[in-house]
Amino acid sequence: MEKLAQLYEGKAKKVYKTSEPGMVWIEYKDDATAFNGEKKGQIAGKGMLNNEISAIFLSLLKEKGVDNHFIKKISSREQIVRQVDIIPIEVVVRNIAAGSLAKRLGWEEGTELPQAIVEFYYKNDELGDPFINNDHVAILGLATESELADIHKQALRINEILKEYLMTRNLILVDFKLEFGQTPEGQIILADEISPDTCRFWDAHTKEKLDKDRFRRDLGNVEEAYQEILRRLGGKVDV
Ligand code: UDP
């Protein structure tokens, strides 16, 4: 398979066309951004770590019957995925109050939620990814009611699988963001990445933060936290 023209460059990844129809080539970058791009930096080795971490999670989900775009990892920072039309909705699932939810509800960070919450945000950098509900999704024409119900159901299933798996690795899945895409056949599948950039992971005992909050909040040892996640998942980076 050949890598062809760049299709898109995002904050954390570059996407290229390939010689294979229906497949795209993803390159994970070390660039890190937070607060809608206001804070910028680099996390050494992040591209390699997230490529491997995401491959582990997406493979696990596939094994458990959650179809997704992942096909194969091809190098330390590159993977091949199915080409899908990304639905511009950021789907956030939460088990514990943190970040924007803690702020919005006035709940102390770390408070366990009585049940998992699914939230939708409009994926639009200019607007700063605003919080939206089902009615907004409908009037913006982002997804039909049944597609949104499908996304909601898949998000909760993914949460159950990841939460349970991470608990065996002494990690609490606090919250995370998912993106879904539509295949040419009209199926809605999980896409994008699942990594410490897009999830909050806390050590189950010490509650130490092992994710991008270390970058957002200048807590130090950012790279080490990402490495620790990979170590607990049993993966390794091949340099
Ligand atoms: N998240 C993300 N991309 C975004 C916004 C949020 O991956 O553009 C993830 C974030 O890492 C966290 C979850 O979604 O795991 C919930 O984030 P929250 O709404 O609390 O916003 P934040 O505090 O990150 O601004």
Q: Which atom of ligand 1 is nearest to the CA of 98?
A: 20
User: What's the pLDDT tens digit per position in 110-164?
Assistant: 999 999 999 999 999 999 999 999 999 999 999 999 999 999 999 999 999 999 9
Q: Which two tokens stand for residue 200?
A: 């909050």
Q: At what angle do helices 46-63 and 145-167 cross, to 10 degrees?
A: 110
pLDDT tens-digit map of 55-91: 999 999 999 999 999 999 999 999 999 999 999 999 9
Q: Ligand 1 site: residues with CB under 6 angstroms?
A: 90, 92, 98-101, 129, 175-177, 198-200, 212
Alpha-carbon span 3 to 16, nearest angstrom: 7
- Compute the distance between CA of residue 134 and CA of residue 23 in angstroms, rounded to an integer: 31
Atom of ligand 1 nearest to the CA of 35: 25
Q: What are the beta bridge partners of residue 28? A: 13
